[in-house]
Chains A and B, each alone.
Chain A
Amino acid sequence: MSDSTPFTLFANGTSLPWADVPEWPVADLVRTTADELSRGARLCAWFGVPEGDGVSLVAIIAFDSDTTLATARSAPIKGSYPALTLLQPQAHLFEREVWEQHGLVPEGHPWLKPVRQTSGHAPANGKFFRVQGSEIHEVAVGPVHAGIIEPGHFRFQCNGEEVLHLEIALGYQHRGVEAALAGGPHRATISQIETAAGDTTIGHATAHATVMESLAGTEAPLRAQWLRAVALELERLANHVGDLGALANDVAFLPTSAACGKIRGDFLNLTALLCGNRFGRGLIRPGGCRHDLEPERARKLLSSLHSALADTEQAAGWFWAANSVRTRFEGVGTVRTEQAAEIGLVGLAARASGLVRDVRFDHPAGWHRFAQIPVSVWPDGDVLARARVRWLEVQRSGKFLEEQLAAAPEGDLLTNVGPLPGGTLAVALVEGWRGEVCHVAITDAAGHFRRYKMIDPSFHNWTGLALALRNQAISDFPICNKSFNLSYCGFDL
């Protein structure tokens, strides 16, 4: 597919001169991007870069089956351009963001409203979509939610119990992450990356470190790459197990809920054994890793891993054996395969809708070039499928860790990352536990970040949750929401 494209091709975790990114009139960029997406490519990023007194649009697309990424940009424009969303719905949030950040109007965009901008100490939510009818009522939930979770607003249009439409309004968590990264790397950059989505510290830090290393034309020592891959699966295990427990809790199946709550902590403690922090902060730095996993520590990790995995197997066993659980999950919150492809779902939500889509497999970089993990897919697209994919991945991650801990590469842990070259673009994709984490850095003439774009998997997937609620009972919202478990701060940045 990719051999006939006019886009410039490159691989995950590599960089290219900004001058080598082809520049086309904006209408051509929109049309060509739409063509490639309809031929099976996927939109990883679509954002603006100020150029003179205009803005260039940049497209990063992925040809998953060819293990290649591709990029192109528009000539600087002002005012408006024909919306890509009309041709490819997966662009819809990207184009809202471009409009919000640069004032470029995507003409014909069906739902152009703010993503996260402020209006009087709250996000500028704009008008919500309303279903008309004397029987219709509206339910508003949030921003502050009932549990200990992040804030966001959900607006349901209901006919009785049935949800006809759900609109999700975010932005409450906006901390100015991207704006702070511009002009960097600064002292605080890595800490800001590590907390962009705090439960995906390893995923985002790995993507950032990879971008930095590829810009500088160096590579982290193999042992550091190995350690990052180990930490990435520990992060996945902790979150997946926590989610299985949370799903059990939401259908009042308390044995699994109680057990998984504790086991999640056991997995977090394994990351803490590595680096002192339960979320992996301070482990990954551009150039490598800051802490080693010495043989004695690795033995300890492996033995704790075995018991945590055995506990998980038991807790999950109760869960899958219970007909009452299956009945609550089956056929609820379904996102069909074609819908998932159309809106550009990533990660476990995509795989639970039958899409074979996993960066570790499709675009291996770092240690995943040498050690692969099978892609866990389930076809049904419902809550049960998203739970099943988590369970499959828990098993695959456990197996991977057991293999990797037995075969550690020797060598250094940290190499020096020199000054960054000017005028260069680098892209790194990492399969975080929710899905594709995408970082794009473009340097200015002095080698500073002219633009640093981060895309958390949640940016792609919130639309999936909205679709999953169509024609569902509103009482099924908690399990649908939990089955995606998306990041608010990762979206809001």
Chain B
Amino acid sequence: MFVLDTIAHRLRRGCQTMAYPNGPAPALPDRHGGALRVDAAKCSAGCDDCVKVCPTHAIERPLGGPVALDLGKCIFCAACVEVCPTKAITQTNDHRMAVRRKEDLVLGKPGEEELRLAAELDAKLRGLFGRSLRLREVSAGGCNACEADVNVLGTIGWDLSRFGIQFVASPRHADGLLITGPVSQNMRLALEKTYAAVPPPKIVIAVGACAIAGGPFIGNPEICGGATSVVPVDLFIPGCPPHPVTILDGLLRLLGKLEAR
């Protein structure tokens, strides 16, 4: 009876995998806010309120210069949004945040008010990885939040494997690494060895504020300050942690599966 019960339950529940990317993306929570937008032209002269409240020193305003916000350092606490008197920093509610170069996360200049979304891999790598990408996850000082929200992509709601993306148990089986955490000094050697053990050509994806620049621990001598201090990185996905839809968007974007979206 037990087996039949289980099958009956399963049939009753039906398919629970979301339609995205063929349907609309799941909405971010209304208080999430999504990616930030910075219109430095709106800043009032001499104001540096946002600089003073930012916990990770993600915002700079050199004397007389325009404000610059580095979304790679940002942990999305929105303290700057709350404090800005001229609404120069705003939330876009956009879940898409993955970029190919760190500098594409720096916001503020005219024409660079928003981040510059990741371009897909070149044709050769897309040919190799586009239908089958095996990743090895290395948590290098991660707090288990980025890890959890990468993990969730494997559950039935997201079903990452329908895109041919899987996480594997050995770097020898992998096409690349997905790194979370600021890379603690104590994980540096393990990360270097894991990277070396992945056969080329290989790609590296840095997920979360810590893996991009150190996150809340930026400046601590016990960390290396992000994945790029140890290995070359092909994709950066900001957030603390990034929402699962942001991570999935980044992976699909890199593989050229989102086209114009």
Contact = CB atoms under 8 A, between A and B. Distances in A.
A274 B136 CA distance: 33
A279 B156 CA distance: 20
Interface in B23-60: 28-33, 53-56
A126 interface: no
Contacts of A255: 6, 9-10
Contact of A262 (B53, B157, B240): B157
Interface string B164-200: 0001011000000000011011111110101000000
Contact of B156 (A175, A180, A262): A262
Contact of A199 (B10, B145, B156, B169): B145
A122 B189 CA distance: 6
B78 A148 contact: no
A277 B32 contact: yes
B145 A201 contact: yes
Given A265-B155, A278-B149, A314-B9, A147 B143 contact: no
Nearest to A193: B216
A265 B157 contact: yes
Contact of B145 (A147, A151, A279): A279
Contacts of B147: 148-150
Given A187-B55, A261-B154, A318 B9 contact: yes
Interface stretch (A8-16, A33-41, A73-81, A166-174): A166-174
A195 B240 contact: yes
Interface stretch (B64-72, B218-226, B250-258): B218-226
Contacts of B243: 278
Nearest to A269: B29
B77 A276 contact: no
Contacts of B5: 318
A487 interface: yes
A272 B138 CA distance: 26
A264 B144 CA distance: 14
Contacts of A196: 143
Nearest to B210: A195
A195 B216 contact: yes
Contacts of A148: 137, 139, 147, 150-151, 154, 167
Contacts of A147: 137, 151, 167, 169
Given A150-B144, A279-B241, A192 B155 contact: no
B156 A258 contact: yes
Given A148-B139, A150-B142, A197-B143, A272 B184 contact: no
B241 A198 contact: yes
B128 interface: no
Contacts of B188: 121-122
B6 A195 contact: no
B151 A143 contact: no
A19 interface: no
Given A198-B144, A255-B9, A262-B156, A173 B190 contact: no
Interface in A234-250: 242
A194 B55 CA distance: 12
A321 B217 contact: no
B157 A191 contact: no
B148 interface: yes
A116 B186 contact: yes
Contacts of B157: 261-262, 265
Contacts of B142: 150, 173, 198, 489
Contact of B29 (A122, A242, A276): A276
A276 B31 contact: yes
A122 B56 contact: no
B190 A122 contact: yes
A176 B190 contact: no
Interface in A155-186: 171-177, 179-180
A123 B187 CA distance: 8
Most chain-B CB neighbours within 10 Å: which of A120, A149, A318?
A149
B152 interface: yes
Contacts of A192: 216-217
A150 B139 contact: yes
A194 B209 CA distance: 14
Contact of A144 (B30, B144, B194): B194
Given A144-B138, A144-B190, A195 B143 contact: yes
A105 interface: no
Nearest to A192: B216
Given A171-B186, A187-B53, A281-B75, A197 B10 contact: no
Contact of A191 (B75, B145, B185): B75
Nearest to A276: B31
A-B CB proximity, top 4 nearest: A198-B143, A276-B31, A176-B222, A198-B145
Given A151-B140, A180-B220, A321-B2, 6 more contacts: A116-B186, A147-B151, A151-B138, A151-B139, A174-B186, A281-B240
15 contacts: A121-B192, A122-B189, A122-B190, A144-B136, A147-B169, A150-B139, A191-B75, A191-B215, A195-B143, A198-B144, A199-B144, A276-B32, A277-B32, A279-B241, A489-B144
Interface of B: 2, 5-6, 9-10, 13, 16, 28-33, 53-56, 75-78, 136-152, 154-157, 167, 169-170, 181-182, 184-190, 192, 194, 210, 215-218, 220-223, 240-241, 243-244
Interface of A: 116, 118, 120-123, 143-144, 146-151, 171-177, 179-180, 187-188, 190-192, 194-199, 201, 242, 255, 258-259, 261-262, 264-265, 268-269, 272-279, 281-282, 291, 314, 318, 321-322, 487-489, 492
